[in-house]
Amino acid sequence: MKIIAFNGSPRPGGNTEILLTEALKPIQESGHAVTVFKLNGMDIKPCQDCGGCATTGICIQKDSMQKVFDAIREADRIILASPIFFFGLSAQAKAMIDRCQAFWCEKYLLKKEIPAGPFGRKGLLLLVGGMKKETGKECSAGTAKAFFRTVSVPEHEILFFGGIDVKGDILKHPTALKEATEAGEKLGQ
């Protein structure tokens, strides 16, 4: 199986990265091919709403998204991991998602779904926020659902941990790492 993961956090070794690493452990141990995209270090320009993809499903901007488009097309499993910033996904994650408008055009205008392989296509959303209230989870989950469905992932699990603010706080959470490992195990099946 091919698994790709997007880390939307700009903080190296931060809570999102720790959680994502934990979720990926059982997948890597099972021998699946894993590619992690650290979005903060990539050249991903925001969507320009130029309409260039409307008739072709192909984005005309040439940057790091070219390899992301290819990876999404081939993926059996997709993990999206992001901190909550201003009640939503990080700008790094959102920029990548907006560029998937090319897939939206392909799917909904050109009526071509990304075909699923023999393992089907599944997703996992990992969210970490400093606040305990769930507004950030709800807003982020709406955007993430639109992303997953657009890239032809019909089902995805969500893990959200609130009250996690200082770098490394996630390590003190009583169940987060275990839940992430279990979600990774399930995703790899």
Ligand X SMILES: Cc1cc2nc3c(=O)[nH]c(=O)nc-3n(C[C@H](O)[C@H](O)[C@H](O)COP(=O)(O)O)c2cc1C
By CB under 6 A, is residue 84 in contact with ligand X?
yes
Determine which residue in the list 3, 4, 5, 16 makes contact with ligand X, applying CB under 6 A: 16
What is the three-class DSSP state of 130? coil
By CB under 6 A, is residue 129 in contact with ligand X?
yes
Q: Do the beta carbons of residue 31 and residue 25 sit within 8 Å?
A: no
With CB under 6 A as the contact rule, which of the stretches 6-14, 26-34, 60-68, 70-78 interacts with ligand X?
A: 6-14
With CB under 6 A as the contact rule, which of the stretches 10-18, 57-65, 96-104, 117-125 interacts with ligand X?
A: 10-18
Given the complex with ligand X, which of 57 and 83 has the nearer CB atom? 83
Q: Please, what is the minimum distance in Å from the beta carbon of residue 92 to ligand X?
A: 10
Q: Please, what is the minimum distance in Å from the beta carbon of residue 16 to ligand X?
A: 3
Number of H helices, E strands in the chain: 6, 6
Question: Closest Cα partner for 180 from 157, 148, 162, 164?
Answer: 157
The strand ranges marked E within 68-166 are 77-85, 88-89, 122-128, 155-161
Please, which of residues 157-186 interact with ligand X by CB under 6 A?
Answer: 164-165, 167
Question: CA 8 to CA 122: how far, in whole Å?
Answer: 19
**Residue closest to ligand X (Cβ):** 14
By CB under 6 A, is residue 128 in contact with ligand X?
yes
Question: Which residues, including other chains, have CB under 8 Å from residue 106's CB and lie 6 or more apart?
Answer: 53, 57, 112, 114
Given the complex with ligand X, which of 91 and 114 has the nearer CB atom? 91
With CB under 6 A as the contact rule, which of the stretches 14-22, 24-32, 145-153, 176-184 interacts with ligand X?
A: 14-22
Question: CA 56 to CA 106: how far, in whole Å?
Answer: 7
Most distant CA pair in the chain: distance in Å? Answer: 50
Kindly list the residues in this chain that would bind ligand X in the complex (CB under 6 A): 9, 11, 14-16, 83-87, 128-131, 136, 164-165, 167
